[in-house]
């Protein structure tokens, strides 16, 4: 969704009153009969969706969302096209927020612990209890995750009035980055990065595609800079880190530097650019002392590769250098970020692609350092702390067990949790006041200084759960205690904040301002942001150590703990089957944990895929199955966060291990942040094996042209043959003799109808012909399309045992093939992503073999699957060369699983189901339908309104959610449509077409590489 | 009395141990009596098998096809393997009874009844599997073109619909042919029976009196049905083979499939006939009727078809390599050296190498050796279909989609249970219907001669009970 607003404005104005989202009649009883409203609510037309703007609360990026509701319940979330961060896209975590909203393990109401058991109580009682404790406590802690500006203001004032000390806790805190910004530019901020404007990016481990800072902004920016543009320019991306994350897999070159040597390499690059000059200001001496030759040996990469990368930074300017993420956060992290800032400065990027004056998070977003958490733990341990409140945080899970949080927390006399569902911290609480999900809440969010979004509820609170917004609770408790400010509800407080803000902006008509904010989802305020290009490097006021730090433990194997690409820190979103079953973009493993290990290291230990290993450090030991990965240094192994839950709900508990149990809780000296990359680890194979649920049959193309690429040089010369010629000359000759000759065509409008294939050619003259093109140069492999499709089409989740058998049911899957990955030296990375979905072949092999015509070709070019007619012989799936057809081996959609561990949909998860799409039962085959329900909806609406179907009216779910804008969909018979232009592109090809003559309607644009490709598949 | 070879009818195999026509009736109708303990035990075993079959099927119907080991990309496994296995076995019976009838083969008469029975029951067993393997069996009737309010036809381009017609036609024709040919023998059984049995046989022999007219009509009908059944031997398994050949799966999409499968069907069917007839022969003392010469002939048929099948294997491998096509080559390489290498080698050894022993007369004339070889052949033929289906599907075009298939206990239970089902009907046959074709056998036995007035002979006269009617 990149061309601005939808043509038709779906948004109805949401009234300022709380009844704006009001629909009554959503009872919890199973409705057996369909009865029309006697007096229908005004805004609701059954069958027609109502959309609301809000902002996602899954991470700190604060992407704007559009929420689709039908009959008063939320059925889908998508990106808000008006929102400058998401621009209409949404990541997997965002989509999974639906399963957070309808999480069956949410608390049914407030609870109090009596006799060791949690018992339900009423809100009135619960608030009284809380008020009582607050009054008696002379001081207490309030641990909270990140909250929007208004709620933060309320919490601050509440804590101030009641004697509380606030601890902002964010497991993925960016302390070292902020401290470095403060040291070098005097601002304690997370700068704003503009990847899209950079011509060359070097990342020292920042996983900007996996979830660092603002994944949608950066996916979009990366795609813009890295994909070949009209002018034939391709931005270069170099990844310098010990491990290839998903972000690293998208790089053009990998510098597999030794653990902890990022600062040295960054300084060496700065040396190349500015050595011998005075550009680096107070740091010139240090820069001069670190030439590439000096650091090459320590870093483990050649000086020449460092020099080359540094030269790219200035040759292709403006460029951008990014510092390490959480996984590389070691004892000298702040120094690394300082070195990166210096490098950015001498490369001339400050103020262009990295902006310190208008930083990412608004002034109200802040994070306490881990140091203050450590102090709090010490305090709690004494047993003197009478009260702790925990909100939007799960420190009992997310902190390392060696931090002693659990023990200390246990010593607190009275513990209160605002968690909306059970988690490890709430499991220790004495009083639970369940907060609402952000889709049911009022609030606001600031994603950049001066830029805001209002968060509004999209439906009445899910009736199964008696929840209350934390803001309302605090206000009510404050009233109770006599320190209230007279506001009855958080909604009023919110409006009050905005009224004063609007006043300072000089807004006269507040109601109009408010409604526009709610309608568009975006509020921009004037903020003076001096350009920071006039910044100068400041001298450091702290002692910086740029050398690689000490690692605890013995041996040469370092343990990397990284935020999961699916869960992030995983402390509060693990109870979501969509995320659990989403194959990790790097390992393609679902449900369980794995430890990544280089093939050489594995061989030396005699370890194969699936062997269970014991990892032990000085701080803990875990057993976890191994997964062999060429994209990690031999002296590093890596574990993702997000596993090992014990109290987080039925889908999360028991899956995998929590790597935080292996690392100590150490504060990084300069920033106060938590050090993650800190210890070495000993690996001992056990005798056990574990069947990892991987969706990857093979990781290599095996001489088949599944994802051919074209080198930049060849593409610029314009010498690639177009599409389907492939490398099958000899085959064609044989075919010529043998009789069968594939139909030569490129699927262009003028080729229709195809010779020998009259499938679906019985449409009218002006019938559209739907086709799709996916640009593999833009696709980053993030798999957001997988979750979007699952959400849109009611695709069931099947459970770990079924995924391990190969029965996962994604309608679109993210294939990943290795071509060149070398962890021993600097060199090109060639890892290819291919989103594989039903190709809607014009010459579909699945159609002739279905005995009952359950699959056929529609006049508008779709390969249709009629669920009601399918008898389940599975011949169609056998005959599909792409294996995109998925079978319902069981009924995965009942409230109870057919057998233990199988997919099912307990109440109220079924509220999420899209009513425009059926729900299939066992024995039925299903597959991608090109979102036919969206096509028909758009056609119907066009027919009702003005008879013209515009290109932007029909958007498939996968296309819509892709931040990289890799997917294009439309009517290929329209010569002006984007799809017909793209299909003629020189890079366009169709998978397997020359071997099978399936004539897919989906074409792919070859990825463009900097290096020459020598593999057979080309 | 020894009948002279000079009076033996031309083109028949000698049955030197059959003395008189009356003997034939007595010997062949002997099994049609109260069964002994052994038979009851075997029947019990078969009933257990049937119970296992329906119990497993019931679980599958209630819970879903997921109880099998099937997955993506291997959507077909043990069920379709067993389906093709049973259909293949059926063909040999029709070959012996219909095709060899038209060719006037000299040795078919004593064996063809058992063979044809095997055909009918094998088709009945095979017919279960399309129902078993389907995802929604309660809608399986949609494959049949029945009049419906939506004017929906099944898809006649789909080989599965061709299967429906082929298998039902085959079952109908075989059953009718079988029944028709048995009528005179049922009349003989009626004549020799008493009490309830007599009533039973009277009904099912349709009141056969053995008149000239009846014989005339029967032989005309018999020839007609034989002619109708003959093309089915070639067509039915060709159609079944097209379940695979029409697909684009590498390893399936080859033109050799129709003759390859038909040869394979004869091969496994003859082997099964050998297995069953050896058991029947032993159990009912029919050594005089099923002589070594019969087994020699069947063994030669086995050998010929085994060579055709081996040729087909070799040509498939050769063409895959010769084509230079990466996907095809990889699929066949995987067969030999991939995850299912053991299945492929069982197939090659059992079907290609073990039958080489049949070149040797000593082996062909040893009942024990033939029995053993026939079991190996059937194991090999089951694995041939398993290899074709599973190895091709698990390693196709898209490497990311490759996977492994492991049959579950439900699938194996149904497969084993199908043998119980087959065995049940066959056991009933052995006790209710004459195992050898009495009437046809008598046609090729030397005619009883009038005794020469010679004092050195003791006249035997006509057999007791008058001239036999058949």
> Position of tokens 């509440």?
A158
Q: Provide the pLDDT for residue A271.
A: 94
The beta-carbon neighbor of A898 closest among B63, B160, B401 is B63
The reported pLDDT for the residue numbered B288 is 86
Which of A601, A641, A637, A627 lies closest to A699, judged by CA? A627
> What is the least distance, in Å, from the CA of A814 to any CA of chain B?
10
Structure tokens at B416: 């084993």
Cα A774 from Cα A227, distance rounded (Å): 12
Which residues in chain A touch residue B401, judged by CB atoms under 8 angstroms apart?
Answer: 697, 882-883
How would residue A733 be classed by pLDDT, with cut points 50, 70 and 90?
A: low
Q: How confident is the model at residue A599 (pLDDT cuts 50, 70, 90)?
A: very high
Specify the pLDDT at position B19. 77
What is the per-residue pLDDT for A953?
A: 86
Q: Which run of H or of E encompasses A686?
A: strand A682-689
Nearest to B116 by CA among B145, B90, B86: B90
CB within 8 Å of chain A, chain B residues 311-340: 323-327, 330
Distance separating alpha carbons of residues B87 and B167, to the nearest angstrom: 8
pLDDT band for B3, please (50, 70, 90 cuts).
very low
Q: What residues of chain A, 837 to 866, have a C-beta less than 8 Å from chain B? A: 845, 848-853
Residue A270 has pLDDT above 70, yes or no: yes
What is the average pLDDT value for chain B, to the nearest integer? 90
Per residue in A201-223, pLDDT (tens digit) is: 999 999 999 889 899 999 999 99
**What are A459-497's pLDDT values in tens digits?**
999 999 999 999 999 999 998 888 877 768 999 999 999
| pLDDT tens readout for residues A321-344 | 999 989 999 999 999 999 999 999
Dihedral in degrees, nearest 10, Cα atoms A775, A776, A782, A787: 50
Q: Which residues of B touch A850 (CB under 8 A)?
A: 155, 158
Residues A220, A84: Cα–Cα separation, whole Å: 11
Phi, psi of B413 (to 5 degrees): -60, -45
Residue of A63, A94, A61 lying closest to A81 (CA atoms): A63
Choice among A595-599, A837-841, A942-946 with the minimum mean pLDDT: A942-946
Q: Over the Cα atoms of chain A, what is R_g?
A: 28
Q: Give the whole-angstrom CA distance, residue A431 versus residue A120.
A: 10
Q: How many CB atoms lie within 10 A of CB A961?
A: 31
Contact B135 A898 (CB under 8 A): no
Q: How confident is the model at residue A762 (pLDDT cuts 50, 70, 90)?
A: low
Between chains, do A924 and B249 touch, taking CB under 8 Å as contact?
A: no
| Surface of B (244-263) touching A: CB under 8 A | 246-249
**CB pair distance less than 8 Å for B143 and A871:** yes
Nearest of B278, B301, B302 to residue B352 by alpha carbon: B302
Using a 10 angstrom Cβ sphere, with 0-12 exposed, 13-18 middle and 19 or more buried, the burial of residue B66 is buried
Share of residues in chain A with pLDDT > 70 (%):
90
B164: closest chain A residue by CA: A851
Is A757 in the B-facing interface, judged by CB distances under 8 Å?
no
Max mean pLDDT among A502-511, A678-687, A979-988 falls in A678-687
Average pLDDT over residues B431-449: 86
How many residues would you count in chain B? 470
Q: Which residue is associated with the tokens 């000593």?
A: B362
Which of B65, B155, B324 is closest, CB to CB, to A923? B65
User: pLDDT of A420-457, one tens digit each?
Assistant: 999 999 999 999 999 999 999 999 998 888 889 999 99
Percent residues over pLDDT 70 in chain B: 93
Query: What DSSP state is assigned to residue B464?
Result: T
- B463: enclosing H helix or E strand: none
> Which pLDDT belongs to residue A877?
96
Q: Which residues of B touch A922 (CB under 8 A)?
A: 64-66, 135-136
Nearest to A881 among B135, B153, B398 (CB): B398
Both tokens of residue A552? 């605890």
CB of B155 within 8 A of CB of A759? no
Q: Is A923 on the interface with B (CB under 8 A)?
A: yes
Q: Quick check: A1004 contacting B, CB < 8 Å?
A: no
Q: How far apart are CA A185 and CA A340, in angstroms?
A: 12
> Phi first, then psi: what are they for A580, rounded to 5°?
-60, -40
Chain A neighbours among B 153-212 (CB < 8 Å)?
153-155, 157-161, 164
CB contact residues (below 8 A), chain A span 725-754, against chain B: 730-731, 734
What pLDDT shows up at residue A364? 46
Q: What is the arithmetic mean of pLDDT over B304-311? A: 95
User: For A564, which DSSP code?
Assistant: B
Test B136 with A923 for CB contact under 8 angstroms. Answer: yes
Question: In whole angstroms, how far apart are CA B302 and each of B271, B351, B378?
Answer: 7, 10, 11
CB contact under 8 A, A734 and B324: yes
Dihedral sign of CA atoms B81, B83, B86, B91 in order: negative
Cα A353 off chain centre by:
22
Kindly list the distances between the CA atom of residue A211 and the CA atoms of A405, A516, B457, in Å, as whole numbers in the listed order.
26, 30, 108
**What value does the mean pLDDT of chain A take?**
88
Q: How far apart are the C-alpha atoms of A400 and A406, rounded to whole Å?
A: 10
CA distance A526 to A528: 6
Give Dmax (Cα) for chain B.
90
Q: What are phi and psi of A600, to 5 degrees?
A: -65, -40
Q: Which ipTM value was assigned to this complex?
A: 0.91
Q: Find the mean pLDDT for residues A636-643.
A: 96
- Say if residue A688's pLDDT is above 50: yes
Q: Which residues, 6 or more positions from A228, have their beta carbon under 8 angstroms from its beta carbon?
A: A234, A712, A715, A777, A987, A1008
pLDDT at A109 over 90: yes
Q: Which of A697, A851, A898 sits opposite B160 (nearest CB)?
A: A851
Extract the tokens encoding A407: 């023990």
Cα–Cα distance measured from residue B273 to residue B112, given in angstroms and rounded to the nearest whole number: 9
Give residue B1's pLDDT.
Answer: 39
Q: How confident is the model at residue A565 (pLDDT cuts 50, 70, 90)?
A: very high
**Mean predicted confidence (pLDDT) in A7-14:** 35
Segment A118-149, tens digit of pLDDT: 999 999 999 999 999 999 998 899 999 988 89
* pLDDT bucket at A33, cuts 50 / 70 / 90: low
pLDDT at A306 over 50: yes
Among A850, A869, A870, beta carbon nearest to B158: A850
Alpha-carbon torsion angle B247, B248, B252, B255, nearest 10: 90
Cβ atoms of residues B448 and B194 within 8 Å: no
Which chain B residue has the Cα nearest residue A734?
B323
Q: Is the dihedral of CA A313, A314, A319, A320 positive or negative?
A: positive
| pLDDT reading at A19 higher than 60 | no
pLDDT tens, B340-350?
999 999 999 99
Is the confidence at residue A759, as pLDDT, over 80? no
Specify whether the CB–CB gap between A622 and A612 falls below 8 A.
no
Phi, psi for residue A282 in degrees, rounded to 5: -65, -15
pLDDT beyond 80 at B452: no
Q: What's residue A829's pLDDT?
A: 94
Q: Sorting pLDDT into bands at 50, 70 and 90, what band is A748?
A: low
Residue of A696, A871, A879 lying closest to B136 (CB–CB): A871
Contacts (Cβ under 8 Å, ≥6 apart) of A691: A610, A804
CB-based contact A969:A930 (threshold 8 Å): yes
Average pLDDT over residues B94-115: 89
The pLDDT value given to residue A870: 96
pLDDT at A723 over 50: no
Measure in Å the smallest separation between the Cα of A632 and chain B Cα atoms.
21
- Residues ≥6 apart with Cβ < 8 Å to A343: A266, A267, A269, A270, A273, A313, A321
* A525-551 core/surface letters (b: 16 or more CB in 10 A; e: else): eeeeeeebeebebeebeeebebebbeb
Whether residues A878 and B76 touch (CB distance < 8 A) is answered with: yes
Angle at A566 between CA A563 and CA A568, to 5 degrees: 35
Residue A464 phi/psi, 5-degree rounding, is: -70, -20
Token look-up 């931040």 returns: A963
Please state whether beta strands A830-836 and A855-857 pair in parallel, antiparallel, or not at all (unpaired).
unpaired
CB contact under 8 A, A923 and B134: yes
- CB contacts of A871 in chain B (<8 Å) are 134-136, 139-140, 142-143
* pLDDT above 50 for B279: yes
Q: Does B292 touch chain A (CB under 8 A)?
A: no
CA–CA–CA angle A790, A880, B393 (5° rounding): 110
Contacts of B327 in chain A (CB under 8 A): 704, 995
Chains A–B, number of C-beta pairs less than 8 Å apart: 178
Query: Does residue B307 sit at the A interface (CB-CB below 8 Å)?
Result: no
For an interface test with B, the pick among A696, A802, A851, A888 (most B C-beta atoms closer than 10 Å) comes out as: A851
What pLDDT shows up at residue B392? Answer: 96
Shortest CA distance from B130: residue in chain A? A873
- Give Cα A892 to chain centroid, integer Å: 26
A69 in contact with B at a CB cutoff of 8 Å?
Answer: no
Question: A752: which DSSP letter?
Answer: P
Tokens representing residue B30 in the block? 């002997």
CA-to-CA distance for A801 and A901, rounded, in angstroms?
7
Given pLDDT bands bounded at 50, 70 and 90, which one contains residue B444?
Answer: confident
Residue A25 or A232, more confident: A232
CB contact under 8 A, B249 and A696: no
Question: Alpha-carbon distance B451 to B21, whole Å?
Answer: 15
pLDDT at A840 over 70: yes
pLDDT band at residue A232 using 50, 70 and 90 as cut-offs: confident
Distance CA(A714)–CA(A712), nearest Å, equals 5
Residues B383-390 have a mean pLDDT of 97
Nearest CA in chain B to A588: B400
- A64 vs A84: CA distance, rounded Å: 8
């Amino acid at each position: 969704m990149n061309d601005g607003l939808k043509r038709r404005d779906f948004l109805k104005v949401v009234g300022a009153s709380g009844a704006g989202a009001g629909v009554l009649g959503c009872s919890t009883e199973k409705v057996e009969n369909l009865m029309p409203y006697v007096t229908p609510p005004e805004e609701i037309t059954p069958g027609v969706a109502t959309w609301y703007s809000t902002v996602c609360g899954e991470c700190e990026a604060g992407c704007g969302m559009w929420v689709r509701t039908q009959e008063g319940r939320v059925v889908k979330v998508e990106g808000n096209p008006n929102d400058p961060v998401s621009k209409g896209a949404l990541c997997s975590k965002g989509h999974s927020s639906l399963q957070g909203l309808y999480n069956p393990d949410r608390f049914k109401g407030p609870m109090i612990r009596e006799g060791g058991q949690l018992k339900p109580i009423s809100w009135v009682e619960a608030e009284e209890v809380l008020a009582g404790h607050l009054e008696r406590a002379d001081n207490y802690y309030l641990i909270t995750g990140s909250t929007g500006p208004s709620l933060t203001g309320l919490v601050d004032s509440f804590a101030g009035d009641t004697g509380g000390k606030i601890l902002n806790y964010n497991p993925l805190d960016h302390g070292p980055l902020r401290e470095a910004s403060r040291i070098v530019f005097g601002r304690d901020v997370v700068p704003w990065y503009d990847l899209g404007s950079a011509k060359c990016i070097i990342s020292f481990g920042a996983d900007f595609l996996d979830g660092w800072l603002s994944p949608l902004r950066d996916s979009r920016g990366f795609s813009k800079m890295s994909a070949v543009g009209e002018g034939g320019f391709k931005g270069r991306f170099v990844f310098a880190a010990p491990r290839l994350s998903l972000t690293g897999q998208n790089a053009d070159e990998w510098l597999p530097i030794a653990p902890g040597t990022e600062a040295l390499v960054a300084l060496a690059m700065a040396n190349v650019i500015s050595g011998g000059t005075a550009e680096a200001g107070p740091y010139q001496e240090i820069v001069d002392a670190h030439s590439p030759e000096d650091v090459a040996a320590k870093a483990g990469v050649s000086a020449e590769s460092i020099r080359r990368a540094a030269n790219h930074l200035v040759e292709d300017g403006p460029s951008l250098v990014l510092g390490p993420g959480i996984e590389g956060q070691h004892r000298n992290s702040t120094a690394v970020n300082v070195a990166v800032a210096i490098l950015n400065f001498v490369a001339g990027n400050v103020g262009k692609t990295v902006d310190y004056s208008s930083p990412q998070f608004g002034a109200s977003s802040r994070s306490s350092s881990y140091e203050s958490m450590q102090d709090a733990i010490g305090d709690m341990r004494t047993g003197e702390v009478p009260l702790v409140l925990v909100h939007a945080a799960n420190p009992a899970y997310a902190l390392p067990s060696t931090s002693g949080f659990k023990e200390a927390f246990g010593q607190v006399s009275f513990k209160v949790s605002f968690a909306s569902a059970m988690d490890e911290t709430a499991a220790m609480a004495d009083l639970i006041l369940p907060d609402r999900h952000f889709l049911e809440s009022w609030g606001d969010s600031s994603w950049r200084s001066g830029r805001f979004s209002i968060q509004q509820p999209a439906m009445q609170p899910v009736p199964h759960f008696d929840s209350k917004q934390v803001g309302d609770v605090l206000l009510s408790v404050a009233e109770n205690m006599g320190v209230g400010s007279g506001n009855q509800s958080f909604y009023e407080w919110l409006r009050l904040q905005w009224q004063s803000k609007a006043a300072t902006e000089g807004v006269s008509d507040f109601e109009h301002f408010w409604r526009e904010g709610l309608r568009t989802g975006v509020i921009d305020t004037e903020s003076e942001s001096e350009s920071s290009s006039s910044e100068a490097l400041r001298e450091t006021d702290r002692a910086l150590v740029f050398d690689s730090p000490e690692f605890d433990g013995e041996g040469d194997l370092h343990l990397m703990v990284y935020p999961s690409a699916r869960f992030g820190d995983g402390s509060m979103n693990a109870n979501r089957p969509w995320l659990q079953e989403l194959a990790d973009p790097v390992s393609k493993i679902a449900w369980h944990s794995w430890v990544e290990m280089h093939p050489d290291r594995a061989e030396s230990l005699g370890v194969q895929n699936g062997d269970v290993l014991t990892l032990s450090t000085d701080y803990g030991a875990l057993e976890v199955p191994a997964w062999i990965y060429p994209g990690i240094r031999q002296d590093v192994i890596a574990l993702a966060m997000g596993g090992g839950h014990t109290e987080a709900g039925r889908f999360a508990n028991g899956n995998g291990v929590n790597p935080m149990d292996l690392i100590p809780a150490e504060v990084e000296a300069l920033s106060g942040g938590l050090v993650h990359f800190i210890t070495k680890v000993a690996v001992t194979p056990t005798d056990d094996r574990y069947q990892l649920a991987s969706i990857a049959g093979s990781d290599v193309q095996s001489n088949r042209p599944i994802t051919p690429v074209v080198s930049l040089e060849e593409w610029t010369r314009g010498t690639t043959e177009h599409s389907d010629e492939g490398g099958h000359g000899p085959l064609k000759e044989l075919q010529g003799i043998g009789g069968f000759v594939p139909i030569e065509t490129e699927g262009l409008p003028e080729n229709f109808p195809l010779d020998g294939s009259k499938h679906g050619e019985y449409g009218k003259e002006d019938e559209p012909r739907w086709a799709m093109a996916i640009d593999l140069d833009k696709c980053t492999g993030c798999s957001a399309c997988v979750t979007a499709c699952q959400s849109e089409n009611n695709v069931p989740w099947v459970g770990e045992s079924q995924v391990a058998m190969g029965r996962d049911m994604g309608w679109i899957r993210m294939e990943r093939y290795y071509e060149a990955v070398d962890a021993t030296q600097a060199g090109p990375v060639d890892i290819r992503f291919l989103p594989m979905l039903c190709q809607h072949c014009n010459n579909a092999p699945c159609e002739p073999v279905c005995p009952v015509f359950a699959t056929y070709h529609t006049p508008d070019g779709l390969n249709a699957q009629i669920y009601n007619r399918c008898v389940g012989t599975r011949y169609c799936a056998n005959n599909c060369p792409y294996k995109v057809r998925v079978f319902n081996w069981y009924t995965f959609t009942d409230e109870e699983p057919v057998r233990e561990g199988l997919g099912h949909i307990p109440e109220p998860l079924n509220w999420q189901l899209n009513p425009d799409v059926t729900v299939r039962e066992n024995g039925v085959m299903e597959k991608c339908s090109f979102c036919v329900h969206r096509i028909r909806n758009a056609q119907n609406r066009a027919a009702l309104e003005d008879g013209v179907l515009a290109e932007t009216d029909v958007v498939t779910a996968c296309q819509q959610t892709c931040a990289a804008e890799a997917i294009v969909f439309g009517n290929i018979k329209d010569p002006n449509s984007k799809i017909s232009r793209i299909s003629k592109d020189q890079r366009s090809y169709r998978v397997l077409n020359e071997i099978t003559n399936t004539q897919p309607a989906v074409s792919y644009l070859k990825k463009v590489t900097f290096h020459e490709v020598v593999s057979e598949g080309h | 009395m020894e009948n002279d070879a000079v009076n033996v009818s031309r083109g028949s195999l000698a049955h030197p141990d059959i003395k008189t026509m009356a003997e034939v009736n007595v010997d062949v109708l002997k099994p049609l009596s109260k069964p002994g303990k052994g038979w009851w035990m075997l029947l019990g075993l078969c009933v257990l098998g049937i119970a296992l079959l329906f119990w497993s099927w019931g679980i599958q119907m209630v819970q879903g096809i997921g109880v099998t080991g099937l997955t993506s990309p291997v959507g077909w496994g043990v069920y379709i393997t067993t389906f093709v296995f049973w259909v293949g076995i059926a063909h040999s019976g029709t070959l012996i009874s219909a095709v060899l009838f038209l060719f006037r083969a000299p040795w078919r008469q004593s064996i063809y009844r058992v063979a044809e029975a095997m055909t009918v029951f094998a088709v009945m067993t095979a017919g279960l599997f399309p129902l078993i393997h389907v995802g929604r069996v309660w809608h399986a009737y949609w494959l049949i073109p029945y009049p419906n309010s939506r004017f929906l036809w099944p898809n006649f381009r789909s080989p599965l619909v061709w299967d429906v017609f082929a298998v039902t036609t085959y079952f109908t024709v075989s059953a009718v042919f079988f029944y028709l040919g048995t009528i005179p023998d049922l009349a003989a059984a009626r004549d020799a029976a008493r009490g309830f049995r007599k009533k039973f046989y009277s009904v099912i022999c349709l009141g056969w009196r053995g008149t000239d007219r009846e014989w005339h009509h029967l032989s005309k009908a018999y020839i007609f049905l034989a002619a109708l059944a003959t093309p089915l031997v070639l067509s039915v398994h060709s159609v079944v083979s097209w379940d695979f050949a029409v697909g684009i799966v590498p390893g399936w999409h080859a033109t050799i499939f129709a003759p390859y499968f038909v040869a394979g069907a004869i091969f496994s069917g003859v082997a099964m006939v050998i297995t069953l007839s050896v058991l029947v022969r032993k159990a009912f003392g029919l050594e005089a009727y099923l002589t070594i010469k019969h087994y020699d002939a069947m063994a030669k048929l086995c050998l010929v078809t085994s060579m055709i099948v081996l040729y087909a294997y070799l040509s498939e491998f050769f063409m895959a390599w010769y084509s230079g096509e990466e996907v095809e080559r990889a699929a066949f390489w995987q067969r030999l050296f991939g995850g299912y290498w053991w299945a492929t080698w069982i197939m090659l050894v059992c079907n290609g190498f073990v039958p080489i022993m049949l070149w040797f007369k000593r082996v062909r004339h040893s009942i024990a050796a033939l029995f053993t070889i026939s079991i190996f052949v059937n194991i090999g033929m089951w694995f041939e279909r398993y290899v074709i289906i599973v190895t091709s599907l698990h390693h196709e075009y898209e490497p990311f989609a490759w996977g492994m298939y492991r049959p579950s206990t439900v699938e194996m239970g149904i497969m084993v249970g199908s043998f119980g089902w087959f065995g049940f009907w066959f056991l009933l046959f052995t006790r209710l219907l004459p195992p050898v074709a009495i009437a046809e056998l008598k046609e090729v036995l030397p005619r009883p001669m009038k005794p020469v007035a010679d004092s050195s002979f003791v006249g035997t006269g006509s057999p007791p009970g008058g001239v036999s009617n058949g």
